[in-house]
Amino acid sequence: MLENTQQTMSADQLCSHGYSLAIDGKIEDAITVWREVISLDQSHAVAHYNLGATLYDLGKSEEALAEFYRAVSVEPSFADAHERIGYTFHMRARESGETSDYRSALAAYRRAVQSGTKEATLFFTIGDIARYLRDNRLAVDSLRTAVSLDPDFERAYYELARMYFKSFQWRRLLEAISALARCSTFDESNYSIDWKTLIRLASKVVLSLAGLIFLLRFFQRRGSN
C-alpha cells in the first residue's frame, strides 16, 4: 500500500506524507519515504532535515548530523537545520566536555541566528556557551538580546547578573537583579542569602549607606569566585 501511494506523489508530497507517517508513529515507514524523496531529488533540503531529526531521535547522532549538513549545503539559510547541528554538537559537548564540540555548537547556533532565528532561548544558549568559552562580550550581548526578546526571562537576568558582578559593573548588576525580581516566575527561595540581600537592595531606588557597604563586602568576598 505504501509503495502504491508513493508512485502517485511528487517529491514534496512524498516528504509531507513521510511527516504524516512519523506523526502516526510509523517511524520506519517515514524513514523509507524520506530516503525515497532523496533518491528522487538529492537537493530536497526538508527531506534531509526530516530524516536527520528522526535519526537523531533514534540515537543515530552521526547519521543525523550528516543529514543536517546535507540540508544546509542545499539551502545555506535553513535556520532550523543549523540549529539542529548546533544542538547535536551541544549535546555531544555536554557528554565529552570537549571544547571543540562547544565551539562547533556555538558556530552552528550563530549561523541559525544569521539565517533569521530570533528566539530568546537560542540567544540564551549562545550566551551560556560563550560564557563557558570565556567569550564574555558575546555572552553578555547574547543574554541581553535574550531578555530584550523575552523581558520575563528570569534565568537570563540571573546569568547577566553573574556576569556583571564578576566584572564589577555595579549599576548594570543592580539593573539585572531588579529586572530579575520583577519576573513573574521569580521565587526568592531559589537564591542564596547573599543574592536575596542584593535583590532587596536592588528593588530600592536609592541605596542606603548600609547597602553600599554590603555591596563592597559582597564583591570583596565573591570577586575571586
Digit-coded pLDDT (tens) for 54-105: 999 999 999 999 999 999 999 999 999 999 999 999 999 999 999 999 999 9
Biggest CA–CA distance in the chain, Å, is 81
pLDDT at 1 over 50: no
End-to-end CA distance of the chain: 64
The pTM of the full predicted model, rounded to 2 decimals, is 0.82
For residues 142 and 126, give the distance between their C-alpha atoms in angstroms, rounded to a whole number.
Answer: 6
For residues 76 and 81, give the distance between their C-alpha atoms in angstroms, rounded to a whole number.
Answer: 9
Kindly state the DSSP code that residue 135 receives in the 8-state scheme: -
- If we measure between CA atoms, which residue out of 23, 21, 16 comes closest to residue 1? 21
